[in-house]
Amino acid sequence: MTHTIICDSLTKTYKVEKKRPGLTGSLRDLIKPQYKSVMAAKNISFVIDEGELVGFIGPNGAGKTTTLKMLSGLLYPTSGSVQVLGHDPWLREYPFLTQISLVMGQKNQLWWDLPAIESFSLAKDIYNIPANLYKKNLSELTEMLDLSKVLNTQVRKLSLGQRMKAELAVALLHSPKVLFLDEPTIGLDVVMQQVVRNFIKEYNNTHEGAIILTSHYMEDVKELCKRVIIINEGEILYDGLLADVIAKFSNEKIIEVILRSGKVETHKVPRDEVTGRSAKLLQNLDIVDINIKEIPIEEVIRQVFASANKNKK
């Protein structure tokens, strides 16, 4: 099988000026600045195949966006190598650029003062999309995203949700084989978040290609991604099935008991003590129901990040 993305020991180091305290320090910085190296990505390695929708998750400053920018050719790595569809991204070759798309939830591709359809028409010319394919893709995307009524509306007059849907549409008009989604639901209300998730899911199921998704909303990841890559401080902590994250990183379960009085109690206990603790609770409390639950994935992910940061100190 030919892999869509091959990332091997990708590393990115930035040179950052060190600020010295006080007025004297500021003057010294002007005359003879000092610098330190900050590693935004460290030996990042993974492989993604056609058809995969992979969640790329981590806290702020973990290196997610830096990695996506290197994969899309916007940043040159300090070391390591990447192949995306057989291309070196940082060469920015036209055949490569016409097969990828990067959507950043906080960046606009659309012309602010023009109707969305004008930006779509510009994308047609930039990517040399044949007229029949452009017409087909435009019709399909506007229907999937319910955009037909706002195509001729000035972008600045669109709601945030409408703009995000239009951003997705313009990014997909040229039928890219690789889609990088960086926080596509950021700032959206819960209803529009679900609309965007439904679209991404449907698009992934009906089109060939690979998608990498970063998001701070675990609902995005839980609903869309079978596989996740967890990154923290530039390093990969985990690469595998989302379903296995809890088993790998959580040693506890939750025992929820409903008392006859109507009160609900929750007890977090080690996995190997669940049976014994449940029996003890049933013996000592007036219980009408008992449920054994896994710890929510959001809490497990937070524990992973907290543990990784603690170990680095």
Query: Tokens 């996740």 sit at which residue?
Result: 228
- The residues pairing with 241 across neighbouring beta strands, listed in sequence order, are 227
Q: How far apart are CA 99 and CA 96, in angstroms?
A: 5
Q: Are 176 and 234 found together in one domain?
A: yes
Has residue 252 got a pLDDT over 90? no
Q: Are 256 and 194 found together in one domain?
A: no
**Residue-range definition of the domain harbouring residue 132:** 5-19+37-246
Per-residue pLDDT tens over the stretch 155-197: 999 998 899 999 999 999 999 999 999 988 888 888 889 999 9
Q: What is the pLDDT of residue 21?
A: 82
- Is residue 25, in this structure, part of any structural domain at all? no
Q: What is the pLDDT of residue 309?
A: 62
Q: Are 187 and 295 found together in one domain?
A: no
- Is residue 109, in this structure, part of any structural domain at all? yes
Per-residue pLDDT tens over the stretch 289-303: 999 988 888 788 877
Has residue 272 got a pLDDT over 70? yes
Q: What is the pLDDT of residue 297?
A: 80
Average pLDDT over residues 237-245: 90
Q: Which of 117, 162, 141, 143 is nearest to 207 (CA)?
A: 141
Q: Are 130 and 198 found together in one domain?
A: yes
Query: Tokens 């596509």 sit at which residue?
Result: 184
Q: Are 130 and 189 found together in one domain?
A: yes
- Which segments of the chain does DSSP mark as H helices, in order? 22-31, 64-71, 94-97, 116-126, 131-144, 160-172, 190-206, 218-224, 245-249, 274-284, 297-312
Q: Are 242 and 261 found together in one domain?
A: no
Q: Bigger pLDDT: 18 or 93?
A: 93
Has residue 134 got a pLDDT over 90? yes
Confidence of residue 313 (pLDDT cuts 50, 70, 90): low
- Is residue 32, in this structure, part of any structural domain at all? no
Q: Are 83 and 162 found together in one domain?
A: yes
- Quick one: CA dihedral 19, 23, 24, 30, positive or negative? positive
Helix count and strand count (H, E) for the chain = 11, 12
One-letter identity of residue 12: K
Q: How far apart are CA 164 and CA 149, in angstroms?
A: 15
CATH of the domain at 192: 3.40.50.300
Q: Bigger pLDDT: 27 or 203?
A: 203
- Is residue 219, in this structure, part of any structural domain at all? yes
**What percent of the chain lies above the pLDDT cut of 70?**
97
Q: Are 228 and 302 found together in one domain?
A: no
Per-residue pLDDT tens over the stretch 53-108: 999 998 888 889 899 999 999 999 999 999 999 999 999 999 999 999 999 877 77
Radius of gyration of the chain (CA): 24
Q: Are 43 and 190 found together in one domain?
A: yes
Q: Are 82 and 209 found together in one domain?
A: yes
Q: Are 133 and 239 found together in one domain?
A: yes
- Structurally, the chain folds into a number of domains equal to 2
Has residue 139 got a pLDDT over 70? yes
- Whole-number mean pLDDT of the chain? 88
Q: How far apart are CA 164 and CA 105, in angstroms?
A: 7
Of 210, 230, 246, which residue constitutes the final position of a domain?
A: 246
Q: Are 259 and 141 found together in one domain?
A: no
C-beta of residue 290 within 8 angstroms of C-beta of residue 260: no
Q: What is the pLDDT of residue 136?
A: 95
